[in-house]
Every structure is written in C-alpha cells, then in structure tokens.
C-alpha cells in the first residue's frame, strides 16, 4: 500500500514552501512519526513526519519550491529498502539465513572505518552536502555531533568557518592525513592542493539561492521602506536602577522561576505603559482607516542561523516580568531548535529589537510592517553623565544605553514619538513606575 506525503497547510497567507532538507533518503525505510522532511516557509521551518512505516520515495529535491498540498513523496508500506538501513526482518528461518552472509561485510565495513574520526561514511544529507561541496571540505575529517556521530549542517558550517574539521588548503591536506583508511589519501589531497591554492589566490564568488525565509525578510524590509514614512528618534537611559534590582534579586529569581532575570522583561513592561499613554504607537494603518489595538502583543526580534524572526509574546500586559522572561526563554529554545511555528510569529502590534547583544552602540531599526513602531535597544556602556544630588550637579560614571524608536510618521507625529521614548526612559530609570503603572 502506498501513501502520499503532501505539503501541509502552515498558515492562511502561505501558498508555497521550499524543500529545506530531506532527513531521510529516497529508498530508505522510515518509521511512523519519524521526521523525514524540513520545509521552509517565508515565516518558519516546519517538520513533516512519516504517516506510517514503509519505504520512502521522494519526488522533489532540496531547494525545490512546492505548492501547499503538492505531493513530494510516497511511502510504500510493502516496499523493500534500497538505501540506508533495511527495515527489520521478520523472525523467520529465511530472515535468519539472509542475515548470516551480512556479517563479513559488516565486519569489513567496520574495519574500513577504524581509522576515521567519526562515522561519516554514510551518505550526507542534502543540506550538509551543499556546505561540504561549496567550501571544498573533507567530510571524513569533521567530527559529527548528530545521532550516532552523523555529520550535521552545523558541524559542516563550523568547519567552513575554521572552527574544526577541514576548511581551506592546509586543513584539507591535514584532514586527509588524519582521516586514515576512512579518508582521502595524502596523494589525492596534495594533487588537489593547487586547485585550492588557485581558488584562494583568485578570490572568486559563489552563487547560492536565497532561502525562502531570507527572501521574505528582504521583501518585507523593502516593503516597509516603500510603504511607510519611517523616522527615528533617539534618547538615552540610565540603567543603574534596573541593574541594581537585577544584581540584588537575580539568584532568588532564577531559583524560583528557573530562568535568568534579564533586561528585556523590564523593557517590555516599560514599553507597554508607554503604549497605553500613546496608543498610536500600538496602532496601524489599513487603507484609509486607523486600526487601534486594545491589546499588547509584543514582538521580540531574534537573529537565527536562517535569518531574523520576530516571535510574539501575546497579551504581554497581563503577564508579570517573570512570565515574560519565561516566554522569551521558550521562544529562544524553539528558535534554536528550528521549531518556531507560524502562530508564534503572528499578531504582533509593537516590536522590540535588542542589537546590544551583538555590541551595537546605536542603530535605526526598520519597522515590522504593518506595525507603526519598533524600539531599538543597544549596548550598555559606562559614560560620564551629569546627575543632580541635593540641588547640586555632579559628574558620575553611569551605565548608559541609547534607545531608538523608529516610527511611521503617517501615524505618529514627533510629539507622540518623543513622548513615548521619554516614558520608556522614565520607567526604566524608576522601575517602581512600572509596578504602580504610572
């Protein structure tokens, strides 16, 4: 019996997806509910599992753009595997007799790999193969961190960056030497060395198709620039009070809630209080109408290996700082594992972007359309500032951060935008205002 594997519906506005990676090969036996395919949409990655045990036959390859509902593979529940590990044999005399001759071959295979660093002799996944081919890597010399020592895309990318395994001319030669019986011979590596040397000397370029997510990011950013009148206003905030609270309670906070006490929870709550005062910053334009949101769904811009995503903390005004921090941790884990869903990225009314984690001192963030405002946070730096104590002005070194609010000038005027940013500043410099909601 054969069953079709179709591209699942992943969101109302999504009509197509890209085959990101087949985690199982065509001709390989798969088990029910085993992940066989990673799909990339313009918003997130989606895992597709096998509906039944059987032999997989793929009809689309990695990189193909496919429509929702399209058939991309078949599973034959009565088929015989022609790739990878064969399906389990039934406990019969025939099965026992057929298993016996395989022992010498298995022993021979094990012996041939005895000199390898990791069991990478199996066929690489399409995603890993692309990285290996693009960078001229020696897969046998890269230590795999996947299941059973398999090579993952992250392993290959790290090797390409020079973080381990093979990469570049010297690493390719050395990798061949250390690979032993499982890798290429020294003579082969040396013969290829002039090719790598010429490649390095000439520089050159590589043409790689954009991922679906990257294309969508590009489209949305250009759309925001073309459809909104974006302006940015700046201010700076003294982080002393928040840092003192964090230092005083971080251990008890982590002990009680199981997560660290960061700064984002404070900024989310501070922004919500500012949005309540300046509702235009939480609104959007729809045709000739202004749509006001009486709820506060705060998007948190997160950089991932596949690009920028903005998971949304829904109804954040009804959450405590601890619940917000737990929500951020939850999304960070899902983003790292590539399990962010379309629903996680939908419904935002205002966005916060923290470029400070990468060391940015100041920036002008771009709107996350159709939202009308985005708050940019930046690196905390000790700077001399003038403070007033007892009616006297003094110069002290304080931990300061630049804030940036990019806004749609069609929705907000300068007065509202500046007032919003001042309220965020006041709430952070005096966190008791957040507690009292004033």
207, part of any domain: no
**What band does 305 get if pLDDT is binned at 50, 70 and 90?**
confident
pLDDT tens column, 331-349? 988 887 777 877 888 899 9
Q: What's the pLDDT at 367?
A: 93
- State the pTM of this model: 0.61
* Least confident residue range of 63-77, 153-167, 239-253, 331-345: 153-167
The reply to whether 225 and 361 lie within a common domain is yes
What token pair was written down for 26?
Answer: 């065509």
The reply to whether 221 and 181 lie within a common domain is no
Q: 350 - beta bridge partners?
A: 298
The reply to whether 241 and 369 lie within a common domain is yes
The reply to whether 176 and 325 lie within a common domain is no
% the chain with pLDDT above 90: 38
Q: Which CATH number is 219's domain given?
A: 3.30.559.10
**117 has pLDDT over 60:** no
Instruction: Please give the Cα distance from 31 to 186 (Å, whole number).
Output: 40
The reply to whether 423 and 317 lie within a common domain is yes
The domain of 158 spans 116-202
Highest mean pLDDT among 76-80, 267-271, 299-303: 267-271
What token pair was written down for 151?
Answer: 């090579």
Q: What is the DSSP letter of 413?
A: -
Last residue of some domain: 161, 180, 202?
202
Mean of the pLDDT values across residues 140-150?
73
**282 has pLDDT over 80:** yes
72, part of any domain: yes
The reply to whether 219 and 341 lie within a common domain is yes
The reply to whether 62 and 123 lie within a common domain is no
**What band does 167 get if pLDDT is binned at 50, 70 and 90?**
very low
**180 has pLDDT over 80:** no
**119 has pLDDT over 50:** no
**What band does 194 get if pLDDT is binned at 50, 70 and 90?**
low
Instruction: Please give the Cα distance from 300 to 288 (Å, whole number).
Output: 28
**205 has pLDDT over 60:** yes
**What band does 141 get if pLDDT is binned at 50, 70 and 90?**
confident
Q: Which CATH number is 59's domain given?
A: 2.40.50.100
Instruction: Please give the Cα distance from 55 to 29 (Å, whole number).
Output: 4
Better pLDDT: 201 or 360? 360
Mean of the pLDDT values across residues 58-78?
86
How many CB atoms are closer than 10 A to CB 79? Answer: 17
Maximum Cα–Cα distance across the chain: 96
**What band does 84 get if pLDDT is binned at 50, 70 and 90?**
low
* Least confident residue range of 91-95, 211-215, 362-366: 91-95
Highest mean pLDDT among 75-89, 156-170, 206-220: 206-220
The reply to whether 156 and 65 lie within a common domain is no
* Least confident residue range of 81-85, 106-110, 142-146: 106-110
pLDDT mean across residues, the chain: 79
Q: What's the pLDDT at 77?
A: 81
Better pLDDT: 204 or 193? 204
The reply to whether 129 and 184 lie within a common domain is yes
Q: What's the pLDDT at 114?
A: 41
278, part of any domain: yes
Q: What's the pLDDT at 162?
A: 67
Question: CB-based contacts of 386: which residues, under 8 Å, 6+ apart?
Answer: 393, 394, 395
Q: What's the pLDDT at 126?
A: 62
* 328 CB-side CA count, 13 A: 28
Q: 375 - beta bridge partners?
A: 352, 405
Positions marked active-site:
409, 413
Please give the tally of structural domains in the chain: 3
**369 has pLDDT over 90:** no
Secondary structure (DSSP) of 34-85: -EEEEEE-SS-EEEEE-SSSEEEEESS-TT-EEETT-EEEEEETT----BSS
pLDDT tens column, 396-438? 999 999 999 999 999 999 999 999 999 999 999 999 988 887 7
312, part of any domain: yes
pLDDT tens column, 231-276? 999 999 999 999 999 999 999 999 999 999 999 999 999 999 999 9
Better pLDDT: 395 or 434? 395
Last residue of some domain: 63, 78, 109?
109
317, part of any domain: yes
Q: Are 403 and 376 in contact (CB under 8 A)?
A: yes
The reply to whether 418 and 272 lie within a common domain is yes
284, part of any domain: yes
The reply to whether 281 and 234 lie within a common domain is yes
How many CB atoms are closer than 10 A to CB 125? Answer: 22
Of the candidates 94, 104, 158, 128, the residue with the CA atom closest to the CA atom of residue 25? 128
Last residue of some domain: 70, 93, 109?
109
14, part of any domain: yes
Better pLDDT: 372 or 144? 372
Which stretches within 228-319 are classed as H helix?
240-257, 264-277
Q: What's the pLDDT at 363?
A: 94
The reply to whether 100 and 153 lie within a common domain is no
338, part of any domain: yes
């Amino acid at each position: 019996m054969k069953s079709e594997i179709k591209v699942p519906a992943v969101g109302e506005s999504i009509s197509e997806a890209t085959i990101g990676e087949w985690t199982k090969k065509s001709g390989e036996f798969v088990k029910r509910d085993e992940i066989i395919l990673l799909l990339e949409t313009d918003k997130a990655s989606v895992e597709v599992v096998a509906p039944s045990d059987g032999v997989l036959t793929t009809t689309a390859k990695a990189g193909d753009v496919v429509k929702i509902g399209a058939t991309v593979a078949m599973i034959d529940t009565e088929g015989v595997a022609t790739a990878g590990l064969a399906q389990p044999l039934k406990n019969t005399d025939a099965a026992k007799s057929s298993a016996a001759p395989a022992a010498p071959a298995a022993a021979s295979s094990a012996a041939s790999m005895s000199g390898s660093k990791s069991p990478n002799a199996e066929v690489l996944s399409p995603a890993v193969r692309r990285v290996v081919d693009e960078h001229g890597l020696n897969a046998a010399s890269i230590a795999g961190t996947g299941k059973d020592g398999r090579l993952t895309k992250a392993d290959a990318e790290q090797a390409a960056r020079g973080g381990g395994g093979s990469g570049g001319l010297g690493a390719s030669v050395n990798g061949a030497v250390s690979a032993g019986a499982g890798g290429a011979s020294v003579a082969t590596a040396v013969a290829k060395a002039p090719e790598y040397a010429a490649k390095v000397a000439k520089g050159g370029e590589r043409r790689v198709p954009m991922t679906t997510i990257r294309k969508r990011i590009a489209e949305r950013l250009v759309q925001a620039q073309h459809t909104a009148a974006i302006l940015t206003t700046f201010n700076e905030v003294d982080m002393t009070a928040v840092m003192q609270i964090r230092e005083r309670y971080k251990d008890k906070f982590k002990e009680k809630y199981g997560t660290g006490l960061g700064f984002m929870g404070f900024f989310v709550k501070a922004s919500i209080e500012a949005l309540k005062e300046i509702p235009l910053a939480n609104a959007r334009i729809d045709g000739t109408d202004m749509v006001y949101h009486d709820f506060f769904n705060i998007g948190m811009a997160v950089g991932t290996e596949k690009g920028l995503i903005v998971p949304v903390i829904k109804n954040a005004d009804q959450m405590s700082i601890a619940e917000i921090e737990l929500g951020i941790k939850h999304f960070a884990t899902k983003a790292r594992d590539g399990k962010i869903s379309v629903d996680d990225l939908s419904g935002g009314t205002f966005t916060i972007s923290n470029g400070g984690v990468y060391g940015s001192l100041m920036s002008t963030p771009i709107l996350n359309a159709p939202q009308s405002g985005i708050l940019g946070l930046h690196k905390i730096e000790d700077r001399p500032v003038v403070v007033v104590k007892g009616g006297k002005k003094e110069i002290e070194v304080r931990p300061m951060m630049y804030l940036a609010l990019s806004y749609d000038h069609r929705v907000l005027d300068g007065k509202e935008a500046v007032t919003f940013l001042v309220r965020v500043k006041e709430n952070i410099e005096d966190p008791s205002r957040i507690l009292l909601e004033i």
